[in-house]
Amino acid sequence: MELYDLIIIGGGPAAWSCGMTARNRGLSCLVVTAGASLSGLAKAHMITNYPGVPNVSGEDLLASFRAQALDLGVEEKTGNARQVMQSGDQFMVLVGNDIFQSRSLVLSLGAARPKMLPGEEEMLGHGLSWCGTCDAMFHRNQPVAVISSWNGGAEEAEFLANVCSSVDYYTLARHDLPEASDKIHLLDAKPLSVTRSDAGSVLRFKNADGTEDEKAYHGIFVFRPSVAPSQLLPGLRLRDVFIEVDTAMRTSVPLVYACGDCTGRPLQIAKAVGEGNIAAISAAEDLQAKDKEKNA
Ligand SMILES: Cc1cc2nc3c(=O)[nH]c(=O)nc-3n(C[C@H](O)[C@H](O)[C@H](O)COP(=O)(O)OP(=O)(O)OC[C@H]3O[C@@H](n4cnc5c(N)ncnc54)[C@H](O)[C@@H]3O)c2cc1C
């Protein structure tokens, strides 16, 4: 398995800018992105304050950042980074069912905060999971619910159906659904909240006719195209809802940097691009210092 110098989790202007400078500094670099359409920039109709590129659509500007980074040798993996684990000197990033390894890490997750269901945070790790691959085995031959807001949930449901006795599939937002089968049941009901009781993991939902109901499962899986930073990398210090960084974009975790909207206001492209550049330079300097220390 390739060991990258740097893995960047993102896919907006901060990530691509960081990737460009990382390549200029000679670092091997992988950008893991849940998808261009999820960048704040993709939603911007017209940008008039980004220097040198007057009156450009957000979509075009983003495509141009990406193309420039790929031209410089940045690699790209499409998928949701669900968890980062540290093993010795290395970071292991879980993307779908794959693991990617690096010596340093940049978080450029954007400002979107996943809105959790009432009860979700308390139940995480106690009958509720965000990762099918990690936790399906705890529910072997048992009924589970999937609550999903994006296409990744469909893939997960199919995987869970191989392990669990049945999968009830609830949607939080419109997306490509899995195929209904003996094991996968597509439900027309809106999840409202989750709780843990003697009956198991209980999902309360609103039916299409407006009535409310609840059902107990052995486990509940929730899939969204983003993960809260502190869940992604335990130990990361936050300031309010943003990732705490110093002026070199270093976070509270050594060799982990953050840039762009996820570090705080102003939520602007120029700031995201500038911070991405600084994060790459800091990562290059810290890796070089580490190598020197090792070889001394
Ligand atoms: C409607 C609108 C108009 C705007 N207009 C302007 C403007 O005119 N001028 C200006 O300067 N700014 C504008 N902005 C703000 C600008 O778009 C943001 O400041 C900028 O996009 C921030 O870049 P970023 O890279 O930090 O985050 P984003 O562009 O939001 O990118 C974050 C990326 O991270 C990915 N991601 C998050 N979590 C994960 C994960 N766990 N695994 C994999 N990928 C993940 C997302 O898929 C996304 O692609 C506007 C924003 C909006 C919404």
The CATH number that applies at residue 165 is 3.50.50.60
* Burial readout 238-252 (b: 16 or more C-beta within 10 A, e: otherwise): eeeebbebeeebbbe
Residues 36, 109, single domain; the answer is yes
131 or 265, which is more confident: 265
- pLDDT score recorded for residue 296: 87
End-of-domain residue from the set 223, 246, 266: 223
End-of-domain residue from the set 223, 243, 275: 223
Q: Look at residue 76 and tell me whether its pLDDT is greater than 90.
A: yes
Range of the domain at 96: 3-113+227-295
Residues 101, 235, single domain; the answer is yes
- pLDDT score recorded for residue 222: 93
Residues 191, 284, single domain; the answer is no
**For the chain, where are the E strands, in sequence order?**
3-9, 29-33, 75-78, 81-87, 90-95, 98-107, 128-129, 143-148, 166-171, 184-186, 189-197, 200-207, 212-217, 219-223, 238-239, 242-243, 256-258
- pLDDT score recorded for residue 38: 80
Residues 195, 270, single domain; the answer is no
Residue nearest to atom 5 of ligand 1 (CA): 44
pLDDT, tens only, 205-256: 999 999 999 999 999 999 887 778 888 898 899 987 789 999 999 999 999 9
Band of pLDDT at residue 57, cut at 50, 70 and 90: very high
* Stated pTM of the model: 0.82
Residues 159, 34, single domain; the answer is no
Rounded-to-integer distance, Cα 284 and Cα 194, Å: 44
CA of 111 to the centre of ligand 1 (A): 7
Q: Would you say 148 and 165 are in contact if contact means Cβ atoms under 8 Å apart? A: no
Residues near 257 by beta carbon (within 8 Å), at least 6 away in sequence: 104, 105, 106, 107, 245, 248, 249, 250, 251, 279, 282, 283
Q: Which of 78, 242, 257, 267 to mutate to test the pocket of ligand 1 (most atoms within 8 A of CB)?
A: 267
Q: Look at residue 32 and tell me whether its pLDDT is greater than 80.
A: yes
Residues 104, 146, single domain; the answer is no
Q: Would you say 12 and 272 are in contact if contact means Cβ atoms under 8 Å apart? A: yes
End-of-domain residue from the set 223, 252, 274: 223
Residues 74, 89, single domain; the answer is yes
Residues 188, 271, single domain; the answer is no
122 φ, ψ (degrees, to nearest 5):
-65, -35
Residue nearest to atom 35 of ligand 1 (CA): 10
Residues 242, 219, single domain; the answer is no
Q: Look at residue 36 and tell me whether its pLDDT is greater than 90.
A: no
Residues 216, 244, single domain; the answer is no
- pLDDT score recorded for residue 132: 84
Q: Look at residue 96 and tell me whether its pLDDT is greater than 90.
A: no
Residues 48, 128, single domain; the answer is no
Query: What integer best gives the mean pLDDT of the chain?
Result: 93
Total domains in the fold of the chain? 2
Q: Look at residue 157 and tell me whether its pLDDT is greater than 90.
A: yes
Mean pLDDT confidence for 262-284 = 96
Percent of the chain with pLDDT over 70: 99
Which residues have C-beta atoms less than 6 Å from ligand 1?
9-15, 32-35, 38-41, 43-44, 47, 49, 80-81, 108-110, 225-227, 232, 260-261, 267-270, 272
Residues 16, 51, single domain; the answer is yes
- pLDDT score recorded for residue 130: 82
CA angle 80, 155, 115 (to 5 degrees): 50
Q: Look at residue 112 and tell me whether its pLDDT is greater than 70.
A: no
